Each structure stands twice: as structure tokens, then as C-alpha cells.
């Protein structure tokens, strides 16, 4: 039997085994248990699930020290960022509890029976309902906020879906501890054992998405890993949705006016954004468009200066470490690409690397020049005219984000770049940096292929929409209707005969 163990990025040493790889019988038993728990989660309603999420959040806060210690040993991210990330994870749980209590996510809609220009209409009542047990695959770079205790888990539980988790190979001990803390808290709340489940190993992950009881998959990871799971899903007798966050380059454009007004400040901000968390963020700006001329030179000079004194934490695992070396080496072998900035050379072992920034003229940029590189590197593309900029931007894959830095006189360019951003990214940032994704009602963390393969967000209130489907009740007896669709006091935002009705505040 294959054992599952992480690696310490600080040293490169293999850590103690955490678990054995889950076999097909294990996967089947765990998913069957999740199927039985689904009825309970749907049955306790919005208020019951909100209470469950709040209890889970409390349990994470109470076990923060153990979680952070395990995650740092397996990821090398460092206690400071891990502390903030754990707070984000428990915040997400409480945030989705608020989404449940507010209720508009259900899209409750009532059209009462009556005459219409098209003839008689039956009584129609519609709302969203949970789809069933779901599988969640967490990310390597966020052991808390996008993994076992992350947003996919929180949003799926909020809808009433039981969750089976695939432990990440980069942090299996953190995954296991996270699961055990939440599972114990859920049982203490009164939830059945199958509310949360966990499997270990790559083969178990494939078996998990292939199981007929699994109704959707949430995935954060590489394009290759996502492709492999999608192939397994395509072999199923019953198709199911696969919600993958996969690959993103996140172009950042500096307009001429912005470079003239604050080029040095933008250079400093870029240095921080590129190297934050060792550049291992899905929203890291991987390609930066900077105008030719002295203003652009000033920006690059400040970026070079700041980067030269920057060292970063080790990369997460050997695969990312080796991939970073291969991608940066390939850039250095291209005659059109120049290396313009290098950070501190690491003086210790493990998976440590030196930050690096490269430059190329916009007229020489090709699609194959730029690929997603997990690590502290970026490519600067120097442009002279708007047509050059637009042509170079067309070489970049669609992304999660597009960032635009504007000056006071860049209004016309602002409109054109916004048009390009709307077509090719899920979030457009102005005069800022894409690293950092706030958990909020208006957030979108998604984008066109290959950044994701769906139209949904994985962060924010509407992430809940991925694990719901609409059901309409026609001329239904009152006794079978969900409470939210019955006549009487309105408890959640409800559209009745085309008009939105809101709950009245308590006296």
C-alpha cells in the first residue's frame, strides 16, 4: 500500500507518512456516507446550515496553532501569511452563514395563476436547491483558504451539499488535521458522519470524480491536473459539472500617463506583487506592459532596484521548483528576451529560488513567449503605440484578472483597455495590483478559458451558485412547497409576479 507524505520546502526532506492511499473500497464507502448525509444537510435548512458553518469557523480559530505549524512545515509559506490565511478561511465560513440567512441566493420566484396575453398561466414557484454530494480538490498554494477548509467547502456546505475532500499531496498532514477538526465539530453539532469525508492519493481522486453519487467537482490547480480529472468525468455515464480554476497570466498594463506620473511607485508595487508568497499566487501579474521612453525606464529601474534586495520564501514543492527553473531557463535561451532584474540568490537549500524579471519588445512577443510560471518571475513587454500594445495583448491567454494603471490624461485609453479586459478577464483592477482577492458579495474570481472552465466565481457570495440547480413547482399543493415559496410572510427576497418583494424589518 502506498503511503502519503509531504516534503519540507525549507530543507527538501521527506516528512513522516500521514496516511495510506485510499483504495476503491475506501472511496466507495466515504462517498456512500456522503450520500446519506446529504438529506440531513438539506433538511436542516438555511438556519441550521448557517449554525453549522459558524461552529466550523469557531473550531478552526480554536485550533489555529496546530494548523499553522503543520502548514508551515509542509508549505514553507511562513506563520505570518498562514495566520492571515487561516483567518480568511474562518471568515469565509461565517460569510456564507450570512449569505444563507439573507436568502437571496435561492432566487425565490413566484408567478401566481392568472390570465396573460398568451392565455391562462398555472401557478409557478421556483427556487434553487442543492445538487448532492460534491468533491473538492484543494490547491497547493493556499493550504487553508482554497483547500480543505476553503471557499469551495464552505460554499458547498452552505447550499446543503455534503463534501468529499481530496487531500493535497503537497500538504497531506495539514489536509488531514483540517478535516479532522471540521469533522469533529460537525458531529458535535449533530451532523452525521458523512457530512465531510476525505480521500488520499491520485488514483483515489480519479475514483472520487468517477463515483456516480458525486454531483459536481470543485478544483483549484494546474491545467494538466484539471484535464486529467475532466477526462475521468467525461467517461462517466452521467455528466457532472467540473468547476476548475486552472491557469492565469494576469496581464498588467501601465498607460503612458501613469508611467509619467508615478512610474517609480508602480515599479515598487510590482516588485512586491510579483514576489509576494514567492510569486505562487494565481493572481500574480505574469506579464507587464510598460511604455517605451524615460518614464517607462524609470519604472523598470525602480523594479530592478527593489527586486535586487528581495529574497523569497521557498517554493511549495519539488514539481513547482523544477518547473520554475525550466521556464526561466527557457526564457533566458530566447534571443529576443533580456533578463533585467534578479533578486537575492538563496544561500540555503530546499526549494529556494531567486526572483527574476525579463523584458521583450512588444513587436517581438509571441504566444509561446509567455506561459504561467508559478514563482517570483514576470515578463515586461515594452510598447510604443496603441496598436503595438493591442497586438501584444492579443498574444496573452485569457486570465482571472487584468490590471490597468492610468494617468489623469489616459481616459480614452481607459475605455479601450476596459473593453479588452471585459472580454478577457473576470476581474479588472485599476491603479492597483491583482494579488489579493477579497471575500465579498461583488467579488469575481473566475474568467474565460484557460483561467477557468466555467462562468462562475470561486470566491464571493455567488460561488454558492455552482452547487445549486433550479426547480419549479407547478400548481403544487402547499404542503410540498419549501417554506420560502409559500404564501404569507416574506422571509427572503422574493420576486412575485415580476416584482421584487423584500422582507420587512422586525418591529
Estimate the share of the chain in helix, then strand, then coil, as percent rounded to the nearest 5.
Answer: 45, 20, 35
Q: How far is CA 283 from CA 42, 342, 433, in A?
A: 34, 21, 9
Catalytic residue among 74, 282, 295, 373: 282
* 373 has catalytic annotation: no
State the Cα torsion 49-54-56-61 to the nearest 10°. Answer: 170
Contacts of 486 (CB under 8 A, 6+ apart): 478
Strand-pairing partners, residue 430, are 404
Report the first-to-last Cα separation within the chain, whole angstroms.
63
What DSSP character marks residue 421? H
For residue 64, which phi and psi values (nearest 5 degrees)? Answer: -60, -45
For residue 361, which phi and psi values (nearest 5 degrees)? Answer: -75, 145
Q: How far apart are CA 251 and CA 427, in angstroms?
A: 11
Contacts of 20 (CB under 8 A, 6+ apart): 1, 2, 3, 4, 200
For residue 402, which phi and psi values (nearest 5 degrees)? Answer: -140, 135
* 245 has catalytic annotation: yes
Catalytic residue among 245, 372, 388, 397: 245
State the Cα torsion 214-220-225-227 to the nearest 10°. Answer: 70
Q: Is the peptide bond before 450 cis (omega within 30 degrees of 0)?
A: yes
Nearest alpha-carbon partner for 402 in 461, 335, 449, 447 = 447
Q: Enumerate the active-site residues.
A: 245, 282
Amino acid at each position: 500500500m502506498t503511503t502519503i507524505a509531504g516534503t519540507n520546502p525549507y530543507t527538501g526532506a521527506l516528512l513522516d507518512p500521514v496516511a495510506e492511499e485510499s483504495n476503491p473500497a475506501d472511496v466507495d464507502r466515504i462517498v456512500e456516507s456522503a450520500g446519506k448525509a446529504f438529506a440531513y444537510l438539506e433538511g436542516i435548512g438555511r438556519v441550521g446550515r448557517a449554525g453549522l458553518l459558524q461552529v466550523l469557523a469557531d473550531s478552526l480559530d480554536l485550533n489555529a496553532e496546530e494548523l499553522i505549524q503543520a502548514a508551515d512545515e509542509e508549505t514553507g509559506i511562513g506563520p505570518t501569511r498562514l495566520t492571515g490565511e487561516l483567518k480568511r478561511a474562518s471568515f469565509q465560513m461565517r460569510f456564507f452563514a450570512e449569505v444563507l440567512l439573507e436568502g437571496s441566493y435561492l432566487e425565490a420566484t413566484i408567478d401566481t395563476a392568472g390570465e396573460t396575453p398568451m392565455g391562462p398561466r398555472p401557478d409557478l414557484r421556483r427556487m434553487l436547491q442543492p445538487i448532492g454530494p460534491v468533491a473538492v480538490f484543494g490547491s497547493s498554494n493556499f493550504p487553508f483558504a482554497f483547500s480543505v477548509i476553503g471557499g469551495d467547502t464552505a460554499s458547498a456546505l452552505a447550499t446543503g451539499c455534503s463534501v468529499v475532500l481530496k487531500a493535497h499531496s503537497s500538504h497531506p498532514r495539514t489536509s488531514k488535521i483540517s478535516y479532522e477538526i471540521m469533522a469533529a465539530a460537525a458531529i458535535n453539532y449533530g451532523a452525521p458522519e458523512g457530512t465531510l469525508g476525505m480521500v488520499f492519493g491520485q488514483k483515489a481522486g480519479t475514483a472520487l470524480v468517477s463515483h456516480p453519487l458525486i454531483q459536481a467537482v470543485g478544483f483549484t490547480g494546474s491545467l494538466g491536473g484539471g484535464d486529467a480529472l475532466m477526462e475521468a468525468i467525461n467517461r462517466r455515464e452521467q455528466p457532472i459539472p467540473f468547476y476548475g480554476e486552472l491557469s492565469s497570466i494576469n496581464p498588467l498594463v501601465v498607460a503612458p500617463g501613469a508611467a509619467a506620473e508615478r512610474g517609480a511607485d508602480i515599479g515598487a508595487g510590482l516588485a512586491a506583487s510579483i514576489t509576494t508568497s514567492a510569486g505562487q499566487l494565481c493572481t500574480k501579474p505574469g506579464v507587464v506592459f510598460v511604455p517605451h521612453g524615460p518614464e517607462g525606464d524609470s519604472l523598470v529601474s525602480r523594479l530592478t532596484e527593489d527586486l535586487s534586495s528581495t529574497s523569497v520564501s521557498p517554493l511549495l514543492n519539488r514539481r513547482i521548483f523544477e518547473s520554475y527553473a525550466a521556464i526561466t531557463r527557457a526564457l533566458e535561451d530566447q534571443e529576443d528576451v533580456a533578463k533585467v532584474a534578479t533578486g537575492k540568490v538563496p544561500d540555503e537549500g530546499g526549494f529556494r529560488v531567486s526572483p527574476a524579471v525579463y523584458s521583450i519588445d512588444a513587436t517581438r512577443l509571441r504566444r509561446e513567449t509567455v506561459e504561467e510560471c508559478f514563482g517570483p518571475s514576470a515578463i515586461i513587454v515594452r510598447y510604443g503605440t496603441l496598436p503595438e500594445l493591442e497586438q501584444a495583448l492579443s498574444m496573452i491567454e485569457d486570465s482571472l484578472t487584468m490590471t490597468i494603471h492610468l494617468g489623469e490624461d489616459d481616459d480614452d485609453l481607459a475605455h479601450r483597455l476596459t473593453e479588452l479586459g471585459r472580454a478577457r478577464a473576470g476581474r479588472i483592477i485599476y491603479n492597483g495590483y491583482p494579488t489579493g482577492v477579497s471575500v465579498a458579495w461583488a467579488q469575481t474570481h473566475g474568467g474565460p478559458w484557460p483561467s477557468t472552465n466555467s462562468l462562475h466565481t470561486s470566491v464571493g457570495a455567488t460561488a454558492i451558485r455552482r452547487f445549486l440547480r433550479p426547480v419549479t413547482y407547478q400548481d403544487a399543493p402547499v404542503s410540498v412547497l419549501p417554506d420560502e415559496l409559500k404564501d404569507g410572510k416574506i422571509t427572503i427576497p422574493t420576486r412575485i409576479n415580476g416584482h421584487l418583494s423584500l422582507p420587512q424589518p422586525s418591529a
